[in-house]
Chain A
Amino acid sequence: MFLPESMSRIVIVGANSYIDETTDVLYDLENIHLIDHTVDADEGFTLGTPRPNNSANTERLLKVRGMSKELGINKHTKTQSISESEIRSQITSDSVESIETEVMAVTGRRNDLNQRITDLNAKKKSLELLARLPIDLDMYSGYRSISSIVGRIEKDPTQALAGMGEVYFDSNKKEGNVIAVFVKNDDKAQAQSILSEHGFSEIAVPEGTGSVNENLAAVNSELDAANKDMEVVQKDMQDLFEKHKHSLRAYDEVLAVDVEKGTLPIRIATTDYTFVIDAWVPAADAETVKQTIESKVPGTFVEIEEERSRKQHDSDEAEDRFKTAPTKMRHGKISKLFEYPTKMMSIPKYNEVDPTVLIAIFLPLFFGFMVGDVGYAIPFIILGAYGLKFAKNPDWRAIATVLFFGGIWAFIFGFFFFGEALGMHFVGEYTEGAVTYTWAGLLHLDNLHNFFGAFLMNGHGVGKIDAEYVGMLLRLSVYVGILHLAIGYIVAIYNKTVQHGFKHGFLEKGGQFLIFIGVVLLGFALGFMLIMNGELVEPLKIFGLDISINWHFSNETLLAILGAGAAFIVIGSIILAKAEGAMQILVELPDTFGIILSYTRLVAIGMSKAGMALAFNYIALGMFAGISPDPTITTNNGIIMIILALVVFCVLQLMIWTLAILSGGLHALRLQLVEFMIRFYEGDGVEFNPLKFKRIKTFSDKNVKEA
């Protein structure tokens, strides 16, 4: 559960004639993590070459993907599953090529039409411009000594061109000015330079005879015809999409499988007659894998080379390509959901504790404690459950996981510990001058006291920004932090013990743990001596049980604790200095104080949200609705103000709720990744990545037969 699954290294040897069958079996097993062969790793072996039919398959796959793109078929297109054997028989009977001919014919027509429509549109645009000048099309060209210059122009150049030749100019502010100038060939350069000073850009005059308007009408009718043709072609494309979408998606899947299988030989070692495959398999399945391969492919032999131990020494001694055993995390249905934050850091090493289970316990717990409010918890649970059911994207699923499980904890804390919803306590006595509302007072439900009073802390729940409880909450968060960090330190020592033995483990990580214990004891003793004068009295009652704290420490006891703390720090420092150098002590001591105090964020964030809720509730309920926090004073505001108050209330509460996701979620995660995991986690492992395919659009005939 905590260490990744134990791995065995196997070697599969077989005759080259059986390589296809072996590949199929390896993919069907879905439990083989291939070790890539490296050139010159073993004398006499070379890397294999792709299977003979691979290039044909690759070509077909490219064709299928090209056609899918043309027809707009993608992974979101809904298509039916088709049997693998049917698809294979279609592929061998050249159906990919025949579909390609069909699709090419239609796309060719479509491309021609697209080109034609573009040309016609350009011609239309030019003609529309020329239609504003009183010149027929054939008058623009065909002269020996005269040149025509036609185009758009920003400013009127008629004055500047006076006497040079014939000028036709039409001014239009909206559509721009158009000009046609006819000059002697000798004057052309001069005319062009004058025109360019006036912001001229030339257009090509379309070929043709007769009036521009007649030509324009002809172009319009050609354009209409082309657009109609285009509609027909698009209908044909749609028909092709409907006709081939099922088979194209299935071809893509089957061919992708074949291409990947066909290139497998380039990852393994081969000779002229044999192949050798090195692979990792979970140790528990190694024997089954051996038997399955040997029984299904007669020409092969499988040898279980080793079961890799967790000792670092064994990994370091191994040949380069066998050094790192892959990590296969072992998780149940729920803890698997929390793999995301672990992977966000790194994949755990083969010989270290996978922190996912610990994250699965503490992440939602911390999030729930920071939110601690029934009113915010219920939407979290609903949203989280919805996300877990429907979300596919791993990022969204990770957020939904935290929202759902964190929401459950937030509900538990909100209902049984803090006793509040939407920043208002369920029950509580009104104190003169306060601006805090209670649900009992707001809804005039006096019976709530009987229900909640029975189990809530001191009859009304813990107030997050209540002077009475602030000290207790801060201490509680520090105690939670100490527990959490202690687990981290113990895991660190355990990891090193697994890798190098206890002595080494204790010497490497024990120093930090002893300093941590010393700091905790020192902090405890100093706190009692300097701040609390040796006593802590706190009347607490929950579920009707008296759990009041009544601690008294004499000065001698506190001095003894102080001494013990100092002793732990000294011993820890000596061990640490030996392991990592004396300078590390200077880093470790303040760091330990810092990380423990960092857990006060559990309360600080809860308090900041409670403070916001208090202010917002007073704005909405007190200022708009005119409801007094004192339940004995009745409301005297109109219905419009009450509706407005509800709207303001909802908007402001939504703001707190959104902030709760961001601050609560991120800080809960940060406590795991920074404060906790840095104690022990190294990561940088390689994930177990077995040869397999996920079939979506095709189904295997084997499965159908077995069913």
Chain B
Amino acid sequence: MVDTALGFIAIGAGLAVGLAGIGTGMAQKDIGAAAVGAITEDPKMLGKALMFMVLPETIVIFGLVIAILACFVLPGM
């Protein structure tokens, strides 16, 4: 029984990171395409473009935090 619960926790953690990753990817896809265009026109844009690229990573980091909480904190409760 305990094993099943742990299994569900692991699936939940995986889903949290995986789905959040897909969300981040979808957002970064468009930003990345625009960023490459901007850098091609003006290489000085690299810094700003990189900055915009990491903006959606917040989503996957929230997913990661939830996964961490699920893996480390939930089993102890």
Closest to B65 in A: A600
Interface of A is mostly: helix
Contact: A604 with B47, CB < 8 Å? no
Contact: A608 with B51, CB < 8 Å? no
Given contacts A597-B65, A601-B61, A607-B68, contact A470 B54 (CB under 8 A): no
- Within the complex, which residue of A398, A604, A667, A674 is in contact with B64, where a contact is CB–CB below 8 Å? A604
Q: Which of B7-15, B30-38, B69-77 contacts A (4 or more CB under 8 A)?
A: B69-77
Within 8 A of A (CB), among B33-72: 46-48, 50-51, 53-55, 57-58, 61-62, 64-65, 68-69, 72
A670 to B54, CA, bound (A): 8
- In the complex, what residues of A have CB within 8 A of residue B48's CB? 344
- In the complex, what residues of B have CB within 8 A of residue A605's CB? 61
Interface of B is mostly: helix
Contact: B51 with A673, CB < 8 Å? yes
Contact: B51 with A670, CB < 8 Å? yes
- In the complex, what residues of A have CB within 8 A of residue B65's CB? 474, 597, 600, 603-604
Contact: B72 with A669, CB < 8 Å? no
Closest to A468 in B: B72
Within 8 A of B (CB), among A580-600: 594, 597-598, 600
- Within the complex, which residue of B47, B55, B76 is in contact with A395, where a contact is CB–CB below 8 Å? B47
- In the complex, what residues of A have CB within 8 A of residue B76's CB? 467
- Within the complex, which residue of A471, A666, A674 is in contact with B73, where a contact is CB–CB below 8 Å? A471
Closest to B47 in A: A344
Contact: A667 with B57, CB < 8 Å? yes
**Which among A395, A604, A607, A608 has the highest number of chain B CB atoms within 10 Å?**
A604
- Within the complex, which residue of A471, A597, A674 is in contact with B72, where a contact is CB–CB below 8 Å? A471
- In the complex, what residues of B have CB within 8 A of residue A395's CB? 46-47
- In the complex, what residues of B have CB within 8 A of residue A669's CB? 51
A548 to B74, CA, bound (A): 22
Contact: B50 with A666, CB < 8 Å? yes
- Within the complex, which residue of B54, B68, B75 is in contact with A666, where a contact is CB–CB below 8 Å? B54
Number of contacting residues on B, CB 8 A?
20
A148 to B61, CA, bound (A): 78
A633 to B64, CA, bound (A): 35
Give min CB distance, B53 to chain A, whole Å. Answer: 8
Closest to A670 in B: B54
- Within the complex, which residue of B54, B62, B69, B73 is in contact with A667, where a contact is CB–CB below 8 Å? B54
- Within the complex, which residue of B51, B61, B72, B73 is in contact with A604, where a contact is CB–CB below 8 Å? B61
- In the complex, what residues of B have CB within 8 A of residue A600's CB? 61-62, 65
A667 to B53, CA, bound (A): 11
A380 to B73, CA, bound (A): 33
A666 to B64, CA, bound (A): 17
Q: Beta-carbon contacts of A380-392 to B below 8 Å, as 1s and 0s?
A: 0000000000000
- In the complex, what residues of B have CB within 8 A of residue A474's CB? 65, 68-69
**Which among A474, A670, A673 has the highest number of chain B CB atoms within 10 Å?**
A670
- Within the complex, which residue of B55, B69, B75 is in contact with A670, where a contact is CB–CB below 8 Å? B55
Given contacts A604-B64, A667-B57, contact A470 B72 (CB under 8 A): yes
Contact: A666 with B51, CB < 8 Å? yes
- In the complex, what residues of A have CB within 8 A of residue B72's CB? 467, 470-471
Give min CB distance, A429 to chain B, whole Å. Answer: 19
A605 to B48, CA, bound (A): 21
- Within the complex, which residue of A467, A471, A598, A603 is in contact with B58, where a contact is CB–CB below 8 Å? A598
A598 to B73, CA, bound (A): 19
- In the complex, what residues of B have CB within 8 A of residue A471's CB? 72-73
- In the complex, what residues of A have CB within 8 A of residue B46's CB? 395
A601 to B55, CA, bound (A): 12
Contact: B68 with A470, CB < 8 Å? yes
Contact: B55 with A674, CB < 8 Å? yes
Closest to B76 in A: A467
A200 to B28, CA, bound (A): 53
- In the complex, what residues of A have CB within 8 A of residue B51's CB? 344, 666, 669-670, 673
Contact: A597 with B62, CB < 8 Å? yes
- In the complex, what residues of B have CB within 8 A of residue A344's CB? 47-48, 51
**Which among B50, B68, B75 has the highest number of chain A CB atoms within 10 Å?**
B68
- In the complex, what residues of B have CB within 8 A of residue A467's CB? 72-73, 75-76
- In the complex, what residues of A have CB within 8 A of residue B64's CB? 604, 607-608
Q: Beta-carbon contacts of A606-618 to B below 8 Å, as 1s and 0s?
A: 0110000000000
Closest to A600 in B: B65
A598 to B68, CA, bound (A): 15
Q: Beta-carbon contacts of A465-483 to B below 8 Å, as 1s and 0s?
A: 0010011001000000000
* A residues neighboring B (CB under 8 Å): 344, 395, 398, 467, 470-471, 474, 594, 597-598, 600-601, 603-605, 607-608, 666-667, 669-670, 673-674
**21 residue pairs bridging A and B, Cβ less than 8 Å apart:** A344-B51, A467-B73, A467-B75, A467-B76, A470-B69, A471-B73, A474-B68, A474-B69, A597-B65, A598-B58, A601-B61, A603-B65, A604-B61, A604-B64, A605-B61, A666-B51, A666-B53, A666-B54, A667-B54, A667-B57, A670-B55
Listed from nearest, the 9 A-B pairs whose CB atoms lie closest are A470-B72, A467-B72, A601-B61, A666-B54, A604-B64, A600-B65, A604-B61, A670-B54, A344-B47
Q: Beyond the given A467-B73, A601-B61, A673-B51, could you list 6 further A-B residue pairs with CB under 8 A, ordered by the A residue number? A: A471-B72, A594-B58, A598-B61, A604-B64, A607-B64, A669-B51
